[in-house]
Amino acid sequence: MPTATVTAFVFPGQGSQYAGMGFDLYNDFPSAREVFEKADAALKFPLSQLCFEGPEEELKQTINVQPAILTTSIACLSAAQEVCGDSLPSPAFVAGHSLGEYAALVAAKTMNLTDAVQLVRERGRLMQQASKQQQGGMLAIIGLDKSAVEEVCLQSDCEISNINSPGQIVISGSVNVLPLAGKLAKAKGPCRVIPLKVGGAFHSRLMKPIADEFRQIILNLPLHPPVIPLVANVSARPASNITAIQEELCGQLCHCVQWQSCVEYMTNNAVSFFYEIGPGRVLSSLIKHTIPNAQCVNISNTDDIRQLAKMSASR
């Protein structure tokens, strides 16, 4: 990889979790162990044990999975920094998919780990609360363009909640209308309709009942200007000051995640190399579908970090 390569750090969101994530990092890298211990202390319960052992049903609950993925993502970053030191490239941008935006803000030093873990735990609690008030879900529609999905939403009372890559769009809606949306999508042409394993209709108007309470939490949170530009989910442009970040975090709750546009913005600004930092490999796949010649490296476990160390040493 040439020294002049422009890089970005990207962080995954909800749905990337699995029981066992981070366990090898905890055992192999003191910096990762410290991250998990800080998260446990901040939340006053053994989040690390839930990450390492599950059970899956408890881990995937919105209130638990959000701090779990954030903590594992920062443990991955800390381990990579421990092993690679100055040879780990400084990113031109950071970004995160939905929940991943909070890990990106920790990487950008806008908020510290303790505040971030407590914040996403509360975010998860509120989102779970909203989902109990009106049960909802999300469907990934693969193979239809945006205009076709917009027509499906108009006919079914759903909303586009994620534009992830060309041909992959996620919609949100109440459990009563999602089956109709799936049928309408299949009637539009060849496509796959995949129910997502999430606890509600995120990034939609079904989250509005918690928006005011969440805004007050964000406005009272100590934030710092990012040391690395954050490419924001809602605008797909850098949020470069505290006010912009506050508006992004509040707006993201009920508005569409423009992930495809975020990736395109970064590549249009010279990024060609993406580090996906955290559990799973979802974002690398989305990035490659959006920008086929983009290079992606995953940092999700000990083997990944050892490979990264070899790559960094050869630069």
Task: Give catalytic residue positions.
Answer: 98, 203
**Dihedral (CA of 248, 253, 257, 263) sign:** positive
The string of DSSP codes covering the chain is --TT-EEEEEE--TT---TTTTHHHHHH-HHHHHHHHHHHHHHTS-HHHHHHH--HHHHTSHHHHHHHHHHHHHHHHHHHHHHHGGGSPPPSEEEESTTHHHHHHHHTTSS-HHHHHHHHHHHHHHHHHHHHHS-EEEEEEES--HHHHHHHHHHHT-EEEEEEETTEEEEEEETTTHHHHHHHHHHHSS-EEEE-S-SS--SSGGGGGGHHHHHHHHHTS-----SS-EE-TTTSSEE-SHHHHHHHHHHHTTS-B-HHHHHHHHHHTTEEEEEEESSSSHHHHHHHHHSTT-EEEEESSHHHHHHHHHHHHT-
**What backbone phi and psi angles, to 5 degrees, belong to 238?**
-65, 135
Q: Which tokens hold the place of 45? A: 């319960």
Q: Count CB neighbours of 306 within 10 A.
A: 12
